[in-house]
Structure 1
Amino acid sequence: MEANCENVTPYTPDEMSFWRVTIALMLASLSVFSTLYVFQPLLPVFTSQLNISATEASFLMSACVLAMVAGLFVLGFVADRYGRSLVMKGSLIVTALSLLVIPFTPSFEWMVTFRVIQGFFLAGIPAAAMGYLGEEMAHKHLGLAMTLYISSNALGGMGGRIVGGYMTDFFDWRITLWSFAGFSLIATFSFMFMLPEERFFRETDQRIVEDLQGMLVHLKNAHMLVLFLLGVLLQIVFTAIWTYVPFYLQEEPFTWSLKWIALTYSAYIFGVLAPPIAGRFSDAFGLKKVMFTGVILLIIGVMLTSISSGILVLSGLSLICMGFFVAHSMAAALVSKSATHHRSGASGFYLISYYIGVAIGSTAVGTLWEQFQWNGVISVTFLLIILFLLHPLYKGE
């Protein structure tokens, strides 16, 4: 499809189409990220009902995320050639249908298989949404649309965890997944109805080798490599905490029910609110110093979770969310600021490193949980944070 751009202007908030695009992408984001993370609070349920270990159960997260990394490569490439709208619609359909099928699967291995398929297509929205917004929205108002879209990412993840865990405390986990599949189908049909056709998209004949070369250039830059590594480390720490905290809170001395454990994910609201505030401070103090502050908050939060007090654990989880999202947003901004060329390639590598961290934090830390319980999770967290803090990235501004 090649757009005829004569007398066509980008959308502004004064137009209904601006809000149709924004709401459509918010619904898509809510569907994708709630589907991705609804499995996280259910892992203890799968261990008991399917007779598997916590590490094995975590494959429902890590396998999905690793497939998502592959999807970011492939679907991003397809979207640049055949249209972002097409990729996003197809991805939402497969996502909804796969979630509908998973409760019918006869074994845990089949569940993981469908999660791999699901993860690949979950990448369709993050791979194409920002490109769609960048082309169709007026640059002056792009920040508004982008902020609403990114906020819906966090809200989708939070909603998937809270609602999924709370529902499963009252109903069978299959009913929970079917309910989320129903929401996903509604979001998919709404998305198809609301999203306008692309007007500025042009197919490209650029070879995939050229795309990869644009990204690989950044692997020769030591400063960029540090930022990619930090993305991995931050997400390993964050994912490890949130993957194994349901197991931690089910045991003595807490013995919390799943519905109360699910409510701990409300701490994500601090992750939604903190980055905009941190952005203002970064203008005055610099990105690196604010990122360092975020890591300090993360450390304090981890320390608080080691104390056997429900209030202190909840306080710690809130600080972990606040610190992580502040540090993550500053690191992402540093990637964009540091890249003098092929900015989309640099952002792509950071996003990929981010999801690799999710996969590692979900499953690799599982062995430490099996052997040493919460102390094992915390120990690897401190090692990673110490490596993070000692890195020469923090020397100077």
Structure 2
Amino acid sequence: MRLSKSQALQGVVFALVASAFTNIYLTQPVLPVLQQEFGISAAYASWSISAVILGITLANIPFGLLADHWPIRPILFTGGLLIALGGLLTAWVDSFTWHVMGRFLQGLFIPALTTCLVAYLARVLPAERRHVVMGSYVAATVLGGLGGRLLGGWLHPPLHWRYALVSAALLTLVAIGVAMRLLPKEPRPPAQPLHSRVGFITLLTQWPTLRLFLSGMGGFFVFSSLFNYLPFRLAAAPFFLSTNAITAIYLVYIIGIFMGPAAGQLSNRWGSGQTLMGGAVVTLLAVVLSGTPWLVGIIAAMLLLCAGFFTLHTASVGALNHRMTAGHGRANALYVLFYYLGGWMGVTLSGLAFEAWRWFGVMGLCVGMLALPFMAGWMEKRSVAQQAMHARPLP
């Protein structure tokens, strides 16, 4: 059956984004294996993930600016090649320092397949088609993150995790090759003014937008911390799970496919503020439940974590874009920057907490960081109530 142009474009977008997110989380389930193979601490082993997130954090805004001024197809092609090169380098080296450098290189060019791709879609698609294709984008982020974890810890034996890196690099090359063949040519980038009505400094100094950036940062801090150090907790007493069993628990991640649209409906019904607060409370329950010594409790905690995190993440993005009347691109670039900064901080700081106080140290940090999305939700709810009060006609 011949695919329509719209279906082909959705497939290309799905393949590009899924390949990018597959590379990000590839080594997460085998962190204990890396710890043993390289003879390093759990916190140092986690740099296999945090180096990628740090690279994304540093490169996201520069790539966003590139996408405003340059054709995006060459950026996609170059970024995909360098992501694959970083994966092959990481699979080949025997030094963990070089392993981290290869992962950092991948992170630096992940925004070429994410941030720049969104800008490309905005440039080539009318609004009604853009919403449909962006549905493929969101689904690909979830399935790519899950697929990377399964590829790294399940589809390949844990002692051959290097094969997973090679497989992901080849998948990225295939996705780039298909994209260069099927992606429609884009119009010339629009001329950019020398100044913008809504600049980065303005967005960072306005509390209504800054608190939503902090909300995304706090949510991803918690999500990254729990998922990143879960393998160490489950590989030790009282669970002693194998790598395959640990990887299977990551299947709960698929709930994110359904929570995004559901959270959007909740925001429409309750408002973004209440939805944010509800997502933060559900995530808090997940953190507390993760401290139980029973496997069924851990699984329930991870389900709640996914439900709560995707709810507050969706509500934060929705509230931000609803609030903006101009400067959407810069606002979203800053949101992604804070988001991945939170993930990097979560993996890094929770590693130190895990080394010092084990799992309860990670839990303590996460409980504190959940104050950010809860606070943002409470203030968003109060702001909406005040606006409604001022808009009410006098008797």
Q: TM-score, normalised by structure 2?
A: 0.91
Unpaired segments of 5 or more residues in structure 1?
A: 1-13
The answer (yes or no) to whether the contact 1:271–1:325 under 8 Å persists in 2 is yes
**Partner residue, 1:349:** 334
Q: Deviations over 1:113-138 (max 9, x none)?
A: 12221111111112211111122222
Aligned position for 1:393 = 379
Q: Does 1:35 align with 2:27?
A: no
Question: Does 1:371 pair with 2:350?
Answer: no
Correspondence for 2:155: 167
Alignment correspondent of 1:306: 291
Cα pair distance change 1:46/1:170, threshold 3 Å: closer
State whether structure 2 residue 136 is matched by structure 1 residue 148: yes
Once the two structures are TM-superposed, the CA of residue 257 in structure 1 deviates from its matched residue by 0.4
Partner of 1:360: 345
Q: 1:249 aligns with which of 234, 244, 254?
A: 234
Deviation at 1:170?
5.1
Question: Paired residue for 2:272?
Answer: 287
For 2:96 and 2:26, the matched residues in 1 are separated by 16
Conservation of the 8 A alpha-carbon contact between 1:83 and 1:203:
no
CA deviations on 1:338-373 (whole Å, 9 max, x unpaired) are: 223212111111110000011101111111101111
In the TM superposition, residue 387 of structure 1 has moved relative to its aligned partner by: 5.1
Distance 1:382 1:135, change over 3 A: same
Contact 1:227 1:331 in 2 (8 A): yes
Q: Which amino acid aligns with 2:379?
A: L
Q: For 1:219, give the aligned amino acid.
A: L
Q: Which residue of 1 aligns with 2:387?
A: none
2:56 and 2:111 in contact (8 A); partners too: yes
Q: Report the CA distance between 1:245 and its aligned residue.
A: 0.3
> In the alignment, which residue of structure 2 is the partner of 1:176?
164
Mark the CA change 1:211 to 1:129 in structure 2 (over 3 Å): closer, same or farther: farther
Q: Report whether the alignment pairs 1:60 with 2:53.
A: no
- The aligned counterpart of 2:61 is 73
1:202 maps to amino acid: P
Indicate the RMSD between aligned Cα atoms, in angstroms. Answer: 1.9
Could you tell me how far apart the structure 2 residues matched to 1:32 and 1:158 are? 12
The residue matched to 2:40 in structure 1 has which SS? coil
Aligned twin of 1:202? 189
**C-alpha contact (below 8 Å) 1:42/1:168 kept by paired residues:** no
User: How many equivalent pairs are there?
Assistant: 381
Distance in 2 separating the partners of 1:242 and 1:249: 11
Residues 281, 290 of structure 1: 8 Å contact kept: yes
Structure 1 counterpart of 2:188, one-letter code: F
Q: Which residue of 177, 192, 200 corresponds with 2:180?
A: 192
**CA offsets, 1:35-93, max 9 Å, x none?**
01102112111110001111111112222212112221222222222211111111111
**Secondary structure, in 3 states, of the residue corresponding to 1:123?**
helix
Q: Which residues of structure 2 form unaligned runs of 5+?
A: 385-395
Provide closer, same or farther for how the CA distance between residues 170 and 346 of structure 1 changes in structure 2, counting only shifts above 3 A. closer
Runs of 4+ deviating beyond 6 Å: none
Q: CA deviation at 1:171?
A: 4.7
Shift of 1:206: 4.7
Whether the aligned pair in 2 keeps the contact of 1:302 and 1:378 (CA below 8 Å) is: yes
Q: Give the C-alpha shift of residue 251 in structure 1.
A: 0.6
8 A Cα contact 1:168 1:258, kept in partner: no
Q: Which residue of 1 aligns with 2:91?
A: 103
Residue 213 (structure 1) shift: 6.9
* 2:127 maps to 1:139: yes
Cα distance in 2 for residues equivalent to 1:279 and 1:211: 30
Percent identity of paired positions between Structure 1 and Structure 2:
27
Q: Residues of 1 paired with 2:169 and 2:295: CA distance?
A: 33
Amino acid at match of 1:393: M
1:157 maps to what in 2? Answer: 145
Shift of residue 264 of structure 1?
A: 1.1
Letter in 2 for 1:233: G
Give the 3 Å change call, closer, same or farther, for CA 395–274 of structure 1 in structure 2: closer
Q: How far apart, CA to CA, are the structure 1 residues paired with 2:264 and 2:79?
A: 32
Correspondence 1:120 to 2:105: no
Kindly provide the CA deviation profile for residues 94-151 of structure 1, in whole angstroms up to 9, marking residues without a partner as x: 1112211212123111111122211111111122111111222221222111111111
